[in-house]
Amino acid sequence: MTTSHHSAVTDAFLVTDKVALVTGGGNGIGQETAIVLASAGARVTATDVNEPGLLRTRTRAEELGLSIATQSLDVADPAAISDAVDDVMAAHGQLDILVNAAGIMIMRNALEVIPAELDTVFRINVGGTFFACQAAGRVMTPGSSIVNLTSSIQDRTSPGRITYAISKGGVAQLTRTFALELGPAGIRVNAIAPGWVETGMTDQHWTGNDGTIDHDRRAEYIAMMATASPLGVVGTTRDVALSVLQLASDAGSFITGQVVRINGGAFMA
Ligand SMILES: NC(=O)c1ccc[n+]([C@@H]2O[C@H](COP(=O)([O-])OP(=O)(O)OC[C@H]3O[C@@H](n4cnc5c(N)ncnc54)[C@H](O)[C@@H]3O)[C@@H](O)[C@H]2O)c1
């Protein structure tokens, strides 16, 4: 391959000077996505309810010679989402990439779920993603891209997390509808369904109420999750963030309305 062909291919994955807004950017997949998008040239605003997490995002970026803006945002509040989009527009005059990574999971069997839990999970996972798509869709121009986070659970549910499972089914379905309605405006909307990735969300399986970590339980849990993959691995936040980059960049120009499954083959649709 000649150098010019090579750079044309790699350039397709760059998001130079594109403006990106990432929710849940203070930890895990959202934080890594903010770093990867900034590394690929975007001007990124990472948002979260977790202020110390946002500080860590900024510090990680600085250590890599990158700059990421951060802003407090609770995605359970539609008006706050709209304000955050307005702030990005005021600062940059454009919004090209939205990544909805904010999310929570409550572990509870179906018969024990109380109304407030269903409400909270829906307000954050479904409502947060929905209203961010809506606010961004109103200002985005052709060539823009939205990436939502659903989960393998939207295909294959498991016991003890019913509110999370149905919220992620909702995210997949809202992704398809936004893709249909925003497609004529040249805006692509996709979701990623990651398999198991170690993050703050998964830490709850081996972290005690006092914050102590059961290292044996952690090792056992990760080994168990890895057996689901024919590769014998679990994913990393970077695996997910690089797929977000493909969907966000021109490398994903022909991809819209899809749920992209990234799970090491643990589940094949
Ligand atoms: N880790 C996995 O194995 C996995 C698998 C499939 C899907 N996902 C999805 O990926 C996304 C990112 O999760 P993660 O694993 O990085 O978890 P994480 O807990 O590490 O990060 C989620 C972030 O969302 C933030 N958040 C929670 N409520 C919020 C709110 N109301 N407003 C704004 N921010 C809020 C948290 O503070 C946190 O920083 C989630 O939607 C999750 O459902 C994760």
* Same domain assignment for residues 13 and 113: yes
User: Which residues are bridge partners to 44 per DSSP?
Assistant: 20
* Same domain assignment for residues 223 and 248: no
Residues 186-211 pLDDT 10s? 999 999 999 999 998 888 888 988 88
Which 3 state secondary structure label does DSSP give 40?
coil
CATH code for position 53:
3.40.50.720
Rounded to whole angstroms, how far apart are CA atoms 61 and 70? Answer: 11
* Same domain assignment for residues 105 and 139: yes
Is residue 122 a contact partner of residue 222, using CB atoms and an 8 Å limit?
A: no
Could you list the residue range(s) of the whole structural domain that residue 144 is in? 3-197+237-259
* Same domain assignment for residues 39 and 115: yes
Which 3 state secondary structure label does DSSP give 83?
helix
* Same domain assignment for residues 36 and 166: yes
Closest C-alpha among 110, 215, 217 to residue 166: 110
Residues 8-55 pLDDT 10s? 899 999 999 899 999 999 999 999 999 999 999 999 999 999 999 999
Q: What is the CA radius of gyration of the chain?
A: 18
Question: What letter would DSSP give residue 197?
Answer: B
The verdict on residue 134 lying in a domain is yes
Residues 233-256 pLDDT 10s? 999 999 999 999 999 999 999 999
The ligand 1 site (C-beta within 6 Å) comprises 23-24, 26-30, 48-50, 53, 73-76, 101-104, 124, 149, 151, 194, 196-197, 199-202
Mean pLDDT of 106-111: 97
The verdict on residue 269 lying in a domain is no
Q: What is the pTM of this model?
A: 0.96
* Same domain assignment for residues 93 and 203: no
Q: Which of 201, 218, 233, 260 to mutate to test the pocket of ligand 1 (most atoms within 8 A of CB)?
A: 201
Residue tagged 């703050």 (tokens): 200
Give the per-residue SS3 of 229-267. Answer: CCCCCCECHHHHHHHHHHHHCHHHCCCCCCEEEECCCCC
* Same domain assignment for residues 116 and 204: no
The verdict on residue 268 lying in a domain is no
Q: Residues in the chain, how many?
A: 269
* Same domain assignment for residues 151 and 215: no
Q: Which residues are part of the catalytic machinery? A: 164
The verdict on residue 108 lying in a domain is yes
State residue 2's pLDDT score: 62
Name which residue sits closest to atom 8 of ligand 1, judged by CA.
151
How many independent structural domains does the chain possess? 2
The verdict on residue 64 lying in a domain is yes
The verdict on residue 266 lying in a domain is no
Helix or strand run (H / E) with residue 226: helix 215-226
* Same domain assignment for residues 69 and 7: yes
Number of C-beta neighbours around residue 133 at 10 A: 26
Residue type, 216: D
Distance 168 CA to ligand 1 centre (A): 12
CA atoms within 13 A on the CB side of 148: 36
